[in-house]
Amino acid sequence: MQTLDPTPSEPPVLVDEPTDLVPPKSPRRIGWARRRRALSAFWKTYRRSRMGMVGLVMMVLFILLAVVGPFFVPAKDVSVAFATGKPFQPPTVHWLLGTDNFGRSVLSLIVVGSRISLIVGFAATVVTMVLGAGIGIASGFYGGKTDTLLNALTNWFLVIPWIALAIVMASILGPTLLNIILIIGITSWAGTARLVRAQALTVKERPYVERARALGGGDLHTIAHHILPNVMPVIFANTVLTVALSILAETTLSLLGLGDPNSVSWGGIINEAFQAGALSAGYWWWIIPPGVMIVLVVLAFTMCGYALDEIINPRLRER
Amino acid sequence: MGRKYLARKSLHALATLAFVLAFNFFLFRVMPGDPIRLLARGSATHMTPQRIAQIEHEQGLDRPLPQQFVVYAENTLTGRFGISFVTNESVTSVIARAIWPTVLLVGSATLIATFFGLWAGIKGAWGRGGLFDTTSLFGSLVLYSAPEGWLGMILLIIFVGAFHWFPAGQMSSNTGQTGIANVLDILSHLFLPCMTLVLGYIGEYTIIMRSSLLEVMGEDFVMTARAKGVPDRLVRRSHAVPNALLPTLTLVFYSFGFILGGSVIVEAVYSWPGLGLLTYRAIQDLDYNVIQAVFLLFSLAVIAFNLAADITYGYLDPRVREA
């Protein structure tokens, strides 16, 4: 027994705290330490996935390009009026990816376009996640009539072909960046909502939720402190995949001529090339590179998403 | 097959259809501005006041909102979608002309992509981690990440622009040939757009089939079969694949809406005279009557396909219809 021992060598060790501990910790610090540990364990598993790591590195590079890249492109390089190149120039040492119909360097356009493409991808994902997680949690947590109604809504949106809905909305609302973001969000939240609802339904039945309720926790408290944190992993993996889908959706809308004509995105560059007859004229440098960028960035997010899914979703783990 | 299951699924499809109809109605009327101005915005011809009044009356726009809905529902259910503001033809006849090319394109692409996707998925899952599996999985992911329209442009640049192997678009050379020559002519025009759609969707099907089969391979009955000494080929053919095929085929049915959507841009790239090209042109000209009709038609097709998938699944898997 410690109290009988004249020289206690070390304080009792909390199971939760393997390192740097002196006095008993506050619950908050214990919680943070546990989260830190969970995160490092997660990272250890994630690091083993080659697909996930390749995707992550590519993803970081693309985000860097979108954040930093446009600062290195002078405004006149991508201006219709002040571009210095000759139109339709094939790639040379000076114009690495050639020029477009206004004599703008395609390389500069791609660097500038990375920002719009990623902004639309991320912003549309935020809309999708807020709608999907909100409706999914409300549906699963409250149950009853709310669930019936929201679930019916979700099923409807799952069935309506997204492209038809997007076309109708975009042609009525008009092509601005904000509208495109909203349209992609509104047409793609249903899958997330279904996933989150299923997870919320199982979390709701767990004992700690009952305990929180017994101690007088209200609906909002229970959702914020117990349901949401436990639904979060599912949302997280889904988010990464949704970014990929949103970037693809933006490309599709741009190719249909429903993109924002005032901002340069990768899909927009391809559309401009298509409209300008680059296909029949054989201006391949104007069409292939922006598409390759789209493929690579979607690939990066998809690979990360699958790797996350394999860790988080136990059904997919290798047996 | 349980009659109750059938009734429930059909009712669900009808409810979805009603929602699509109502959604289309309100989407158009909650927008700021006058629907008729919106309708005529893309009109190539000048609209006389008489013409506007006539259209307003045809579409019930001169009446209160609830009555407008009745007129709208009546018109829609009887297939009166008004006229195309660009060609001044009735939307119904414009669409009727464009349906078959799209059925041909989307149908052939779906069949080919499903067949090869399932084949690659089965082969990959059975040799998990092998050379074929790794290559096909990576290839699938790359194809899945590529926008269909862009894929179409690449194929066009390579096989038409550089090699001149195929005609550059449309559905036939319009030289008035008949019989076998005509069929071959159409096939040569069909090849590239069809391949584009196949490449665009085969990756998805491969991935779905692969993960579905992997899941089944971990089931007890597969181990039982192996333990009994059933040869590997037979385990695959009679125990694993049939059980993995069912959920995969359902997902293929469900993804029909996506391949239909993909056809819009692919048809535009190849000037394939189907619903996709019609939609593409209607977007460029803001021909709202056509856009609305195509929206309803696409939704109807997807709802019908989902119902078919549900019924097939219920027929083949008794566990589903009991649930």
- CATH code: domain of residue A240: 1.10.3720.10
Tally of domains in chain A: 1
Q: What is the pLDDT of residue A1?
A: 40
A227 touches A204 (CB < 8 A): yes
Asked, for residue A210, whether it belongs to a domain, the answer is: yes
pLDDT, tens digit, for every residue of B207-245? 889 988 888 888 888 888 888 888 888 888 888 888 888
What is the spatial distance between Cα B56 and Cα A95, in angstroms, rounded to a whole number? 55
Least Cα distance to A311 among A31, A56, A17, A16 occurs for A56
Identify the pLDDT of residue B258: 78
Tell me the C-alpha distance between A48 and A286, whole Å.
38
* Paired tokens of B57: 């009356």
- Cβ-defined contact of A288 to B149 (cutoff 8 Å): no
Do B19 and A156 lie within an 8 Å CB cutoff? yes
Question: Distance between CA B194 and CA A76 in Å, rounded?
Answer: 41
Higher pLDDT, B116 or A261: B116
Enter the tokens of residue B182: 């005509």
pLDDT over 60 (residue A131) = yes
A176 vs B79: which has the higher pLDDT: A176
pLDDT tens-digit readout, A157-170: 887 778 888 888 88
Of A159, A162, A252, the CB nearest to B149: A252
Whether residue A153 is contained in a domain is answered as yes
In contact, B259 and B110? CB cutoff 8 Å: yes
Q: What pLDDT, on a 0 to 100 scale, did the predictor assign at position B44? A: 46
- Mean pLDDT of the A207-217 span: 83
> Residue A175's domain spans which residues?
112-318
Among residues B214, B206, B197, the alpha carbon closest in space to that of B251 is found at B206
- Give the residue among A150, A151, A133 at the shortest CA–CA distance from A200: A133
A8, two tokens: 């206690």
Closest residue to A164, CB basis, from B262, B268, B298: B298
User: What is the average pLDDT across A81-106?
Assistant: 72
CA angle A113, A70, A91 (to 5 degrees): 65
Tens-binned pLDDT, residue by residue, of chain B (323 aa): 577 888 888 888 888 888 888 887 777 666 555 556 666 655 545 566 777 777 777 666 677 777 777 877 887 877 777 777 777 778 888 888 888 888 889 889 989 999 999 999 999 988 888 889 889 988 998 998 899 889 988 888 888 777 777 777 777 776 767 777 777 777 878 888 899 999 988 988 998 899 888 888 888 888 888 888 888 888 888 888 888 888 788 878 877 777 887 888 888 888 888 888 888 888 887 777 788 888 888 888 888 888 888 888 777 777 766 65
Over residues A170-193, the mean pLDDT reads 87
Residues of chain A neighbouring B20 (CB-CB closer than 8 A):
156, 160
Residue from B4, B18, B245 nearest A155 by CA? B18
Judge whether A218 lies within some domain.
yes
Q: Which residues of B touch A256 (CB under 8 A)?
A: 264-265, 268, 280, 283
Note whether B182 and B214 are within 8 A (CB).
no
What is the dihedral angle through the alpha carbons of B101, B106, B111, B112, rounded to the nearest 10 degrees? 90
Position A63 scores a pLDDT of 92
Q: Would you say residue A295 has pLDDT above 90?
A: yes
In a domain, A214, yes or no: yes
Is residue A34 in a domain? no
Within 68-127 of B, beta carbons closer than 8 Å to A belong to none
CA pair distance A313, A307, nearest whole angstrom: 10
What single string gives the DSSP state of each residue in B123-157? HHHHTTTSHHHHHHHHHHHHHHHS-HHHHHHHHII
How many residues appear in chain B?
323
Which of A6-10, A207-211, B127-131, B218-222 is predicted with the least confidence, judged by mean pLDDT? A6-10
Which of A164, A147, A155 lies closest to A189, judged by CA?
A: A155
Q: What is the mean pLDDT of residues A60-73?
A: 86
Q: Which residues from chain B sit within 8 angstroms of residue A257, using beta carbons?
A: 280, 283-284
Percent pLDDT > 70 in chain A is 87
Residue A2 covered by a domain:
no
Name which of B255, B291, B250, B270 is nearest B102 in CA terms. Answer: B270
Residue A51 maps to a domain: no
Give contacts of B 258-317 with A, CB under 8 A.
258, 260-262, 264-265, 268-269, 279-280, 283-284, 286, 288, 291-292, 294-295, 298-299, 302-303, 306
Task: Give residue A3's pLDDT band: very low, low, confident or very high (50, 70, 90).
Answer: very low
pTM, full prediction? 0.84
The answer to whether residue A13 scores a pLDDT higher than 60 is: no
Let me know if residue A32 belongs to a domain.
no
Residue/partner pairs of A6-13 with CB below 8 Å, 24 or more apart: none
Structure token pair of residue B144 = 């899945």
Asked whether the beta carbons of residue B299 and residue A257 sit closer than 8 angstroms, the reply is no
Query: What residues are paired with B90 via a beta bridge?
Result: B83
More confident residue, A290 or B189: A290
Asked if pLDDT for residue A273 goes beyond 80, the answer is yes
